Amino acid sequence: MRIKSSGQRHLWLLLFFALMLTAETAYSAQTVKIEIPEVIYATGDSFTLGKIARITGGNNRLRRILSGIEVYADGNILTRNEVLAAIGESEASDARIELYMPASSRIESPGYEGNFTETQPSNNSRTLGELSSVIKSLASWPGNVEVSTNNPIPEGRLIDPQSITPGVSGVTLRFEDSRGRVKPLNVKLTWTQPAMIAARNIKRGDKISPNDIFTREIRVTRPGVYASSPAEIVGFTSNRNIKQGEPIEISGLTSSNIIKRGRQVKIIARYGGASASADGVLMEDGRPGDWVKVRRADDRRTVLRARIINENTVEVRVE
């Protein structure tokens, strides 16, 4: 059933994510990404992690705990080992931490207009490259995204948006500096990903072989449309004619391989840049592309309708 009301849609999403993650409340089951730039704008020799880092993933409680961890610098240098030690002594010590920072970060006094991470021209490719990495993380995008802007990148932390939908042509970013001032930045985005391209004309009913395809980076406006690896399509049958040089859409393929009920799979749900996953079990036979019933592996009462992506993965559509 399609949920038309925006309020109902968001309520359904929250309920679904709660169901998906009910069994994953232990911090050891959660992965959190912590990003600390090469240059930190702060005063003093100690500060909370939330003031100097971007913290994503995990649940709200875990992020609050991590944000409140106090870290200590040695002079004007904060080392990666010092951050890891502080986390190891905290309540979040059993969480899976992905720490993205250099071996040491330099601390500089705030109070002037700087850039996203360091005092370089705003159009410097390295600075825009760092911003691109952050946007990819917010969008949970496995491909690439090119960022362009006509304005300087403001000083401070990127505080909004919390997620970005892959494929959007532009977005307004908001940065908060050390004085609490919030400044917007409009950026244009170009999303690309590796895609499987037809090396010859493929007729409807043809089974795709490795010789029928090659890989090329293409621009996309919607995620999950095109196959990005041979494993997704080799051995599948095309439902339509595909011209040589055309990217191959996953929805236009079927597999003769039947995936049997009872198989353990990963259930994935995505909404914008947010995603959730849980272990599940197929309740019906099906082929890739088919919609089947699937239940949580740890809860027989949670039954969902999902599309089979491959023999190991199903996806729930959140509209």
- One-letter-per-residue 3-state SS of 273-308: CEEEEEEEEECCCECCCCEEEEEECCEEEEEEEEEE
Paired residues of 188 in beta bridges: 148, 170
Q: Are 267 and 296 in contact (CB under 8 A)?
A: yes
- One-letter-per-residue 3-state SS of 38-105: CEEECCCCEEEHHHHCEEEECCHHHHHHHHCCEEECECCEEEHHHHHHHHHCCCCCCCEEEEECCCEE
**Residue 202, number of CB atoms within 10 A of its CB:** 23
| Sequence-distant (≥ 6) Cβ neighbours of residue 311 within 8 angstroms | 257, 259, 263, 265, 288
Q: What is the mean pLDDT of residues 139-161?
A: 86
Task: Give the closest residue to 38 by CA, choosing from 111, 97, 115.
Answer: 115
**For position 32, what pLDDT does the model report?**
79
**For position 2, what pLDDT does the model report?**
45
State the average pLDDT for the chain.
78
pLDDT in tens, 52-82: 888 887 777 788 888 888 888 877 888 888 8
Q: What is the mean pLDDT of residues 215-220?
A: 93
Of the ranges 16-30, 86-100, 169-183, 262-276, which is most confident? 169-183
**For position 29, what pLDDT does the model report?**
55
Q: What is the mean pLDDT of residues 197-219?
A: 93
Q: What is the mean pLDDT of residues 135-143?
A: 82
Q: Are 140 and 247 in contact (CB under 8 A)?
A: no
C-alpha distance from residue 184 to each of 30, 42, 149, 150, 151 (Å): 31, 21, 12, 13, 10
Q: Are 277 and 20 in contact (CB under 8 A)?
A: yes
pLDDT in tens, 76-128: 888 888 888 888 888 777 777 888 888 888 877 653 333 444 333 444 444 78
* Domains in the chain: ranges and CATH: 26-108 (2.60.480.10), 125-191 (no CATH), 193-254 (3.90.1210.10), 264-317 (2.30.30.760)
- One-letter-per-residue 3-state SS of 152-183: CCCCCEEEECCCCCCCCCEEEEEEECCCCCEE
Using the Cα atoms of residue 7, residue 10, residue 16 and residue 17 in order, give the sign of their dihedral. negative
**For position 291, what pLDDT does the model report?**
86
**For position 84, what pLDDT does the model report?**
85
**For position 192, what pLDDT does the model report?**
93
Ramachandran assignment for 224, one of left (phi > 0), alpha (psi -120 to 50 degrees), beta (any other) = left
Give the span between the Cα atoms of 238 and 204, in whole angstroms.
Answer: 5
